[in-house]
Amino acid sequence: MKFNIAKQGGIKARLVYEDKIEGEYLTHLKEKELFSGKAEEVYYTLDSDLKARLFIGLGKEEKIDFEVLRKTFFKVSGELLKNKAGEVELNIPKLNNLCNYRIASAIAEGMLQAAYKYDTFKSERKEAPELVVNYNPIKGKEHRAEKGVNEAVKLMEAVCLARDLVNQPANVIYPETLAQTAKDKLESKGVKVSIYGKKEIEDLKMEAFLSVARASAKEPKLIVMEYYNNPESDEKIALVGKGVTYDSGGYAIKPADSMVDMFCDMGGAAAVIGAVHALAGLEAKVNVVGVVAACENMISGDGFRNGDIIGSMSGKTIEIINTDAEGRLTLADAVYYATNNLKAAKLIDLATLTGACAAALGEQVSGAVTNNDEFFAELERANQRAGELVWKMPNIDYYKKMNESKVADIKNRGGKLGGMMSAGLFVGSFLAKEDIPWIHIDIAGTAYISEAYGYLKEKATGVPVKSLYFMLSKET
């Protein structure tokens, strides 16, 4: 898809408000119940002389927000691509007093969302039809529109990178290829990517991480991505992503049906790689470090067991109640490393961590646990801007106590109930200092979905790359 700013040509779209249906043609369409101007409604037709007409419903003006624009232009773009329309001219007026740059960003994003598809492994792949979008903002706002379109293009590149990483199966994306992809995609953007192998991970004494990795024939990799672009601040923020490239459950083996999609268990890592890609691509003024402890949770004669007591980089001992609660073990060492060795002042961890989160919130809302409401408020503003949903769960001692072990410092499974919070608080207890502002985002339900909604198709979503970008770049 190609965007031109302030250029005429192509099918001229007509934007229609639901309460302003005027003229013979539109009145006819409304009477025949073909088009009534509601938000997300699109009517595309060819007249007898093959001239295309395109009507775009916007609903009521006072209801328009960025999410309505994304959803509506997702439909527009889908219709144009399906009809191989070639070129479209959008003349975008001021909409509900929204900022012109953000309008352009939302419209372009919606259009790009429709072009994403995952067909890497189909022998007969169809070339996507090309679409040229001539975007005309109101006079004098060309630069703002250009900035918005550019933001959307770079953001969607990052979101699609995260989606591709999650969608590809575990025989393709494993620790080494995940690390290599991060390097290939990020270094050209000015990010320093360091990849540490087993020997170096052993030297760091990451025993929790290594215990999970032990049964796999694939070598674990610790991936560190550094992008420091704010010389005025010496504060570093860490993004830590769960990078379990396959989760069989280990000896607490999963039933076959629950295992099929478990190549998606590196969704947190993909979100981190995507977010760093967006921040670097858009040259955000931020000092960010991404950390991923990537490994596979497999089974072998040397695998760790339910009942084992293991160490961790922090020095804490961990009683293994369930080898399928592996994500928190890899995160424990990654979080400690980010805050102790890399001295991150704030930390967000992202993980497809618990079925309990998916059970509680479903596929459209991620769950969060935090120790700092001010920090969380920053995320909420970014969610609003991005059109992504995160719900804050309670952080009280009740859940923390669930992790107490009789024989070690902590255990890796809370109890039957409240599993999302006890898992999150397990991760938080490995911060080098307990007052480091921290948010845990559980994306077990949202990173890889079974049913499309809005502008998200089924399978990998790339959630919450957009929010992380907006939060860290302060574009909220």
Q: Of the candidates 264, 330, 327, 190, which has an alpha carbon nearest to the alpha carbon of residue 462?
A: 264
Interacting span for ligand BES (CB under 6 A) from 22-30, 81-89, 101-109, 348-356: 348-356
Q: How far is the CB of 270 from ligand BES (least distance, A)?
A: 13
- Determine, following the binding rule CB under 5 A, whether residue 319 of this chain makes contact with Zn ion: no
> Which position among 10, 290, 327, 464 is part of the footprint of Zn ion (CB under 5 A)?
327
- The whole-angstrom separation of Cα 144 and Cα 131 is 22
201 close to 209: Cβ distance less than 8 angstroms? yes
355 touches, from Mg ion, Zn ion, ligand BES, none (C-beta below 5 to 8 Å by class)? ligand BES
For residue 260, count other CB atoms closer than 10 A to its CB: 11
Closest C-alpha among 366, 407, 369 to residue 390: 366
- Point out which residues pair with 453 in neighbouring strands: 456
Calculate the dihedral angle through the C-alpha atoms of 414, 418, 420, 425, rounding to the nearest 10 degrees.
Answer: -50
Catalytic residue among 254, 316, 392, 457: 254
Nearest-angstrom CA–CA distance, 57 and 399:
47
Number of residues that bind Mg ion (CB under 5 A): 3
419 binds ligand BES (CB under 6 A): yes
Pattern 240-259, Zn ion, x by CB under 5 A: ----x--x------------
User: Is position 40 an interface residue for Mg ion (rule: CB under 5 A)?
Assistant: no
- Determine which residue in the list 247, 296, 319, 363 makes contact with Mg ion, applying CB under 5 A: 247
State yes or no: residue 207 binds Zn ion (CB under 5 A).
no
CA dihedral 13, 40, 83, 117 (to 10 degrees): 130
- Whether residue 7 lies in the annotated active site: no
Q: Is 296 in the site for Mg ion (CB under 5 A)?
A: no
Residue nearest to Mg ion (CB): 324
Instruction: Kindly give the residue spans of alpha helices, DSSP state H, lying in 387-458.
Output: 397-401, 419-428
163, 328, 385, 413: the catalytic one is 328
Nearest approach, Cβ of residue 422 and ligand BES (Å):
8
Quick check: 264 and 456 in contact, CB under 8 A?
Answer: no
Rank residues 267 and 437 by Cβ distance to ligand BES and give the closer one: 267
Query: Does residue 254 have an active-site annotation?
Result: yes
- Binding to ligand BES by residue 444, rule CB under 6 A? yes
Residue 356 found at the interface with ligand BES (CB under 6 A): yes
Residue 207 binding target from Mg ion, ligand BES, Zn ion, none, CB below 5 to 8 Å by type: none
Sign of CA dihedral 304, 305, 310, 313: positive
What DSSP state is assigned to residue 98?
-
Any contact of residue 442 with Mg ion (CB under 5 A)? no
From the CB of 268, what's the least distance to Mg ion, in Å? 13
Instruction: Give φ, ψ of 22 to 5 degrees.
Output: -130, 160
Binding of residue 265 to Zn ion (CB under 5 A): yes
The answer to the question of residue 180 lying near ligand BES (CB under 6 A) is no
Burial of 78 (0-12, 13-18, 19+ CB in 10 A): middle
Question: Is residue 243 close enough to count as binding ligand BES by CB under 6 A?
Answer: no
Question: What single-letter amino acid sits at 9?
Answer: G
Q: Which 8-state DSSP code applies to residue 263? A: G
The verdict on 226 binding Mg ion (CB under 5 A) reads no
**For residues 238 and 338, is the Cβ–Cβ distance under 8 A?**
yes
**CB 276, min distance to ligand BES, A:** 22
First-to-last C-alpha distance (Å) of the chain: 26
State the residues that interact with Mg ion by CB under 5 A: 247, 324, 326
State the residues that interact with Zn ion by CB under 5 A: 244, 247, 265, 327
Catalytic residues: 254, 328
State the residues that interact with ligand BES by CB under 6 A: 247, 265, 322, 324-327, 352-356, 358, 413, 419, 444
